[in-house]
Every structure is written in structure tokens, then in C-alpha cells.
Structure 1
Amino acid sequence: MSALASPLVRTPDKPMAFTSDELLRGGITAWLVFMVVLVCGEAVHLTVLRLRGEHVPATLDAFVAAVPALVIYALCAGIVAAFVTPIGILIVMLIARAMRGIRAMSIHLAVYAAFSMGISGASIAAAPSDNPVAWFFIVPAGSFAVAIPLAWWWTARRALRIDAGLITPRPPRPDPDAAYEDRAADTGLGGVSRGS
């Protein structure tokens, strides 16, 4: 079996089964989507806040003035999200294992949307409602609500397209240690034999 070939994970009984690589890819995709939506949403929010000030003209200066706050906000949110993502991956793994026998992507999307909306709602409920800081909870909650279903859809669609032969997966990076051992075994150098 070549390095690119892998046993078929999805079967007629489990049409939406997944590999650990696909699960990790989905988690990374969710984090990236979360960060992009968060930065875009918060850029709009901070720009609106700057425009509400009477001394700030409605020009590009309003957005430029918000950039330092946006960078700090994105760094803080990115660090928090990086710690939360592994926990989310474990929760999604349990959901995905329970649903691997269901073929309909719409049902999967509905379940992941409900999951992300539930956590987003809890995040908003925990925010102080009478404080202007509450908006800084709403944008991440909305970003999370978008990121989970979208990341699942992108990852599942890619895996199913690979299975159908519509796209070719990127070959894995070569392992220099394995290449050295294979070369040594082929030439009889170093006392290394195949299968050890």
C-alpha cells in the first residue's frame, strides 16, 4: 500500500465516519474561521464605536484608529480560543461518533448549528447586560455560532470529495528518519532490516 493510500473509513453503515486527521483538520478550520469572523465583526463594531464619537469624522481615520484595539482584542481572543478549541474538538468528536451513521449533511449541519448556538447563547447570557463591555461577548459568540457549522461543512465536504475521487489530498510531508532507515535497509547499511 502506498503512502497516499488509506483504508476507506466511510462505509454504507457509517457513511459519515471520520479519521482523527479529519477531526483535527475540522478543529483547526473552526479556529481559523472563528478568528476571521471575529476580526471582521469586531472591526465593524469598533469602527461604529469610533464613529459614534462626535470628534471623529466619518472617514477611513475611524477604522485606522480602531486597529490597535482590534489587534489586542484579536490576540486575546485567539489565545483563549486556542485553549478552548481542544475541548471543543473532544465534544465534537463525541457528537460526530454518535452521528456517523446518518448520511444527510443537513441533519449534521443542524446539530452543529444547534450546538454552537447553545454555547453562544450561554456566552451571551453570562455577559453583563448593563455594561458596554457586553458587546465584547456578543461578537465572539456570533463568530463561534458561524465557525462550527461552517468548519464542519468544509471538512466533511472535502473528505467526501476525496473519497469520490474529485480532489486529490496533498501528499504527507516526507519523514527524513523513515527515508534514512529505508535507504539503510535497502543497501544493508547500519544493521537495519525491513520490518524492525
Structure 2
Amino acid sequence: MAFTNDELLRGAFIAWVIFMALILVATTILVGVNMSIPGRTSAGNIVLVILMVDGCVLLVGGALSAIVMAIGAGLAGRIGGPLRRVRSIRVHVLVYTALGLAVGILFAALIRGVWIRGPLSPFDFITAIPAVAVTVAVPLGWWFTARRALRMDAGLLRSRRTHRDPDAEVEDAALPAAGLSSQEQP
């Protein structure tokens, strides 16, 4: 399954969007459950804290994960090259899941730092959220992009290019004047 650079970038962007959605959902649940312990906080404060934490996650996590996405897209392109001749979707999903898992493990190891060999702490659960999210997001980003590309190749979808090529428009307009259709062009 060959892919274009546009498809590679689309897949990386989709993976980033899925990652951010998973992170925001997990953070909202984690903060909401933690803050809603009876007698701790009012409902208004819970919502305020969730909005503040999600805002920080969007700003910091979004920026850092966008940098990781750019690096990961280059790596995915290098990995995808040898997979061009592999038709099995399972192999592709496994390879991109392994890529996501490697990024997730690297993230957890970097965050945990020198305490990698130490005992687990509650903080490890928080670092596991992005690690799991990236493990899920990378193969899903590939799958959505591959599915769209295969549907376009089969003629089931049309490209939604918004920019027009003025030269192509002039050439297309000149075809009927020359007595040719778009299929008969030289």
C-alpha cells in the first residue's frame, strides 16, 4: 500500500487529533473523579478545575505532542517505505501500533526519569495516560488515512481540493474550443 506525502501528513494530523481527544477525555475523567470525592469540592469548583487543567493540557500537551508528531511523521514515513508492498492491513496496524507503543514507552521513561527502577507511584498512572493514548492514536491515524486513500483509489470518494489551478482551468476551458473532451486530450 503506497502512500503519498499528503496521506502521511494527513495520517499524522489525524493521529494527533485522536491523541489530544483521548488525553482531554482521560484528564477530564481523572480530575472529575478525583475532585468529586464527597465533601471535598463543590460542583462549580470541579468544573472550573477541569476547565483549567484541560486548558493547560491543550496548550502544553498540544504543543509538545505537535513536535513529537512532526518527528513521528518522519519516522512513520521511513517505516512505511518498506511496507509499500505489504497488502495485509493487520501487518500495517501491528507495525504502527508498535511505533505508538515505542513512543509511549519513551515518553513514560523520560517523564519518570531516574526513578525508572524505583517502585511505582500514583504519578506513574498519570504518565501512563499519554503513553496509552499515543499507542492507540498512531494506528488509528494510519487506519483512517489508509481507509480514506483506498476508498479514493476505488473511486468511492473524490478529493476536496479547495485551491484551484488557474492554468488547468484555462486548459480545460480551451478543450471544447479545440473540439476535444477531457478524455481525448493529447
Asked if TM exceeds 0.5, the reply is: yes
Q: How many residues align?
A: 166
Q: 2:161, 2:61 → 1: CA distance?
A: 33
| Structure 1 position 48 matched with structure 2 position 45 | no
**What is the CA deviation profile of residues 124-143 of structure 1, one whole-angstrom value per residue up to 9, with x for unaligned ones?**
23443655443442221121
Q: 1:171, 1:119 → 2: CA distance?
A: 32
The percentage of aligned residue pairs carrying the same residue is 31
TM-score w.r.t. length of structure 2: 0.78
CA offset at residue 31 of structure 1? 1.1
Q: 1:91, 1:174 → 2: CA distance?
A: 32
Could you tell me which residue of structure 2 aligns to residue 140 of structure 1? 130
Cα 1:137/1:160, change in 2 over 3 Å: same
Could you tell me which residue of structure 2 aligns to residue 171 of structure 1? 161
Letter in 1 for 2:84: R
**What is the CA deviation profile of residues 43-87 of structure 1, one whole-angstrom value per residue up to 9, with x for unaligned ones?**
111112212474226x57634432112211221000101111111
Q: How does 1:99-178 map to 2 (within 5 A)?
A: 99-128=83-112, 132-174=122-164, 178=166
Return 5+ residue gaps in structure 2 as ranges: 113-118, 175-186
Q: 1:100, 1:79 → 2: CA distance?
A: 31
8 Å contact 1:112–1:149 — kept in the other structure? Answer: yes
Q: CA RMSD in A?
A: 2.6
Could you tell me which residue of structure 1 aligns to residue 46 of structure 2? 62
Letter in 2 for 1:167: L
Could you tell me which residue of structure 1 aligns to residue 63 of structure 2? 79
